[in-house]
Amino acid sequence: MAMNYEFGRHIAAEQQAGNIQGVNALRRRQRSFNTAIRQGTFRELPLESPERRELVIRIGTAIEKEVESLQEASLLGLPLYHKAIVDLDHILLTDIISNDEAVDIILRSETTGVLAKSQQLYGQYETFLEESFVNVILHSGDIDLLDPNNITQNYLMRYRNLTANEVALADIKPEDRVLFIGSGPLPISAIEIARQTGCQIDCVEHFADKADTSRAVIDHLGMSGQVHVYTAEGQEFPVSNYSVILVGVLAQPKQEIINHIEQNTQEGVRVLARTTEGIREFIYPEAEFTTSRFIPRDINHAVKDQALSTILLKDRLIDASKLIPKQLSAPLRIIDDGEAYVSNITDPQNHWLYYAFEGFNALSKQGKKIGHFVSIATGPGVDAIGAMEILHPERITVTDLVPTAIDQARENISRYQELGERTPVTYVVGNLCEPLGNDTADVIYANLPNIPIPTELLDQLLEGITAASYFDPETLQGVPEDLGKYLLSLQYAFLQQAKSHLTPDGQVLLNLGARMPITAINDLFDKAGYQQPEVLSFGFKLQTEPFDTIPNYAAHETSEVQFAYYPYRQAKEILTGKSITNFSELTTLLEQLKLSATDAFERLKQGEQLGHLVTLLSAKPK
């Protein structure tokens, strides 16, 4: 095994140097490795198998022995300390056992104190390493941070990769103001983030000597215009001006720091909290904190030789007032957990809800009194809030197939109602109009997905994947073939069902991403037994989450069936300053730019933004 070879080489070197203690320490470590790490066979064993359980126990024992050896090696100078760390890394950074399997090992090591010991030895080693590296930087003329002959190359590469992942996770841009809390003597993460993005970054370090060292390094690298180091406590430092805050894994007291950030930052701040997972807890402690303002929106899990994972925290509630083109009677703050169809609120005209509400405005001008308003597939329920504000119905019912969507709708609507309109709302879960029972309504609004989800993924949908539609084969019996081809099956099934739930003068409102030809849309209403639909609103918007949508439309294209996309920027240029009075005028204006979904996907891959038409249609049964 490669590992034995390495041991052999190191033992020989220690023998030659006459270091008997070193030789013995290495031999002890070699023995524990041999008993525990049979990596090659380990991974193939089924999870939960007795063999695997036994090996997990052995790995636990090996780690404990390794930590003991590490303690000995830590007293024998940096080269041996380094080797012992590398050996322990061989177990901890191999992804050999799952995080679940690591739990027992960690619990046991916690009680014996081995876990804390290991973290302490790793921390101390990192400090040594950083200090020695600082010396190299400060005493050499022109230092390449990644000199391949330098033993720290591996360490620096890890930070380069880690920060690259973090830059992507929080989407850090040159104009961001970034704060790094707990930067240590060598603020390598700050240097890397500054280099990778060109942004300004400030560091907070509570030990004055470490902060001084950092400043010297940054000066020496000629980066003092971009990276600043403050000697301060993270839980006290003014944080209100930062758009991104990175909380180092060793930054303490963690909970106080998070509380401070919660209370003093602006809406929209992105917080990156470093932590460890599973067996990597032997390297750094897991970040433990609670938060009420933020939710974990994404995580970068450490794999391979990465020690650190990073959690992206973002506001759980966002201000969605701009979506409703009207002065609101109460603040509209809604849950944004990344699953609830609320993307792109910064730019409301790129959100379909904006067009829904413009359509509601047009309807309200018609002056019809609405008794009962229903929103089918309400998602986070914002459409119902807009209906209260604009249409003032006597009561509202909201439905969704996904129970968690209804939970969110209830929370969003209730929060808004504490100060705003108090229209009575009924919440029901189920497929299309089925949960309405025998109830009827004056207006039934629906915004349904177009792209089918395979039946085997239905469970995932119910757990909250909301980007695709639910295809219950029974609901869809009798959908005309042509409509299916244009991905209008769910819309057809909805229209069919809605007919028996409309009051005599009732109407449906259908919110459509109009990527299909107008003829197909007219066909949809006709075949479902409705009169020609009326266009209540229309517009052109950016395709959000393009990689989740465009390839799916492309996959449904054939020589006869094509969808319509437009290059976003060019289309916007054509439309600027024009007042367009009807939907067909808009399509005519954009005609020359039209792309099939297949072509749009090619452009997307080249980094182009794509847009599509959107409309709110109203129709009554024939």
Tell me the closest approach of the beta carbon of residue 348 to ligand SAM, in angstroms: 12
26 is written with which tokens? 């290495």
- In 3D space, the residue among 267, 272, 268 whose CA is nearest the CA of residue 257 turns out to be 272
Q: Which is nearer to ligand SAM, 248 or 386 (CB)?
A: 386
Q: Is 618 in the site for ligand SAM (CB under 6 A)?
A: no
Neighbours of 285 (CB within 10 A): 18
Q: Is 470 in the site for ligand SAM (CB under 6 A)?
A: yes
Q: Is 515 exposed, middle or buried (0-12, 13-18, 19+ CB in 10 A)?
A: buried
State the DSSP string of 280-291: GGGTSPPP----
Q: Is 91 in the site for ligand SAM (CB under 6 A)?
A: no
Q: Which is nearer to ligand SAM, 123 or 325 (CB)?
A: 325
Using the contact rule CB under 6 A, the part of the chain among 55-63, 307-315, 323-331, 397-405 near ligand SAM is: 397-405
Q: Which is nearer to ligand SAM, 193 or 448 (CB)?
A: 448
CA distance 580 to 538: 10
Q: Given candidates 192, 281, 315, 400, which one binds ligand SAM under the rule CB under 6 A?
A: 400
Contact 52, 46 (CB under 8 A): yes
CA distance 408 to 340: 8
Q: Given candidates 213, 309, 412, 431, which one binds ligand SAM under the rule CB under 6 A?
A: 431
Which three-class secondary structure state does DSSP give residue 277?
A: coil
Q: Give, in order, the Cα–Cα distances in Å from 177 to each of 189, 241, 263, 330.
A: 15, 7, 18, 31
Q: Is 511 in the site for ligand SAM (CB under 6 A)?
A: yes
Using the contact rule CB under 6 A, the part of the chain among 192-200, 394-402, 476-484, 613-621 near ligand SAM is: 394-402
| DSSP 8-state code for residue 185 | S
CA atoms within 13 A on the CB side of 340: 27
Which three-class secondary structure state does DSSP give residue 45?
A: coil
Q: Which is nearer to ligand SAM, 214 or 543 (CB)?
A: 543
- In 3D space, the residue among 40, 63, 72, 38 whose CA is nearest the CA of residue 278 turns out to be 63
Q: Given candidates 432, 444, 508, 564, which one binds ligand SAM under the rule CB under 6 A?
A: 432
Q: Is 350 in the site for ligand SAM (CB under 6 A)?
A: no
Site for ligand SAM (CB under 6 A): how many residues? 22
Q: Which residues, 362 to 391, sit near ligand SAM by CB under 6 A?
A: 375, 377-379, 382-383
Q: Given candidates 265, 306, 423, 447, which one binds ligand SAM under the rule CB under 6 A?
A: 447
Contact 490, 470 (CB under 8 A): yes
Q: Is 402 in the site for ligand SAM (CB under 6 A)?
A: yes
Tell me the closest approach of the beta carbon of residue 429 to ligand SAM, in angstroms: 9
Which three-class secondary structure state does DSSP give residue 454?
A: coil
Tell me the closest approach of the beta carbon of residue 2 to ligand SAM, in angstroms: 50
Q: Is 539 in the site for ligand SAM (CB under 6 A)?
A: no
Q: Is 512 in the site for ligand SAM (CB under 6 A)?
A: no
CA distance 8 to 529: 82
Give the per-residue contact string, 112-151, with ligand SAM (x = CB under 6 A; - = no). ----------------------------------------
Q: Is 442 exposed, middle or buried (0-12, 13-18, 19+ CB in 10 A)?
A: buried
Which three-class secondary structure state does DSSP give residue 417?
A: helix
| DSSP 8-state code for residue 18 | T
Tell me the closest approach of the beta carbon of residue 487 to ligand SAM, in angstroms: 13
Q: Is 546 in the site for ligand SAM (CB under 6 A)?
A: no
User: How far is CA 332 from its chain centroid?
Assistant: 23
Tell me the closest approach of the beta carbon of residue 457 to ligand SAM, in angstroms: 12
Longest dimension (CA), the chain: 99
Beta bridge partners, 202, equal 179, 228
Tell me the closest approach of the beta carbon of residue 590 to ligand SAM, in angstroms: 23
Q: Given candidates 55, 353, 498, 502, which one binds ligand SAM under the rule CB under 6 A?
A: 353
Q: Which is nearer to ligand SAM, 85 or 334 (CB)?
A: 334
Angle (CA) 350 355 361, round 5°: 145
Residues that bind ligand SAM (CB under 6 A): 341, 353, 356, 375, 377-379, 382-383, 400-402, 405, 431-432, 447-449, 466, 469-470, 511
